[in-house]
Structure 1
């Protein structure tokens, strides 16, 4: 009989002791857009990243790399990107300098996704009392992305440009693990594709190599329960709408 390698003999745990807590973390997860300044201890951050790293990846490639920003490094990047964001508003031609490496969103929107996108934006800005004509407040609210919504921790996730598209899927599962682990420990997060256009500023700042591609940023910390924006909860379509059952 062939002996199995030691690394494959870990005990399988078929039953989760408290499935309700897992469901609570999933159902309680939301994109938080206002955080308290309360620091997050490094040991806790390391624990969250270790939990996130249990995400599946094709042939166990584990393609993700994470940069954790706090304190002065976080604040310096916020200042740089907010300045660039303001400059683009003053001179839209500068937007050509800040292009995403990969298309997070489609070039041409179709139904039903465009309707969901519009509903999301309208609901969020209506909650904040920001109308379509209020360009100054819209700009300021969008720039909250580049301030990590005041979260004390900002993370940037990258993958090697040499990897295939499947690594984006793998990294997405890593990010899901991270947000759920954060929720389980009383924290919240917001995954942010908004940073991707400013990768040319972000990547040199964090010391990333030329072979790295920015996947997204993440704001992480303790949610501000008093801010109205954190009452915003996005709807989900019913299972019957997105599933097909074959027997």
Structure 2
């Protein structure tokens, strides 16, 4: 089940505002250019920001997410008809995807917390790629301990959202039981005097663990890069399905 931040209709409406400028997305469009990828699967697409950017470059884009509310937000955006939207996990990537590139942005890979789920996802991605195709995703470096900052988040963040009015967001660290870290986001809709919360748990896998899991699936890890928008804090993996 997706977290309420993605699956609750009201929270999905405010996600883009609080997520802020997606400075990370240009790097993924650049990777698609670098690989000359014409068919792309955006796995865990959320509200579709990257999917729409890729589609506007003339690529064939399949965008998947298990949260219907997030997909509803994506489908309401300009040029949404240029993307094929699919509700579900990696298990429902179309059999004829024949992707040159599969992407997971926004640290979506960390939301897959169980080992068996991660293994199944890797196999699903592998089968959806053409030989020579690439799987790229980002993940936070566990050695940087980003949860320490979450524990001292300070004052709430507020935004005035058209049609909804002023909304307040608070972040609370719930539990650190490495490799798992849990936190809560609470949103107060001031005009309505209503509150909605969303609890999330992330899995922090190190570079060696991720590399081993990719190789066990059959991938070749060609490159591990710094995330250009968060240097030193995140890694971007580029893993290829070998050519036959």
TM-score band w.r.t. shorter chain? under 0.3
Which structure dedicates a bigger proportion of its chain to strand? 2
Answer with 1 or 2: which has the greater Rg. 1
User: Which structure has more helix as a fraction of its residues?
Assistant: 1
Q: TM-score, normalised by structure 2?
A: 0.25
- The one of the two structures with greater contact order (alpha-carbon pairs below 8 A, sep at least 6) is 1
Q: TM-score, normalised by structure 1?
A: 0.25
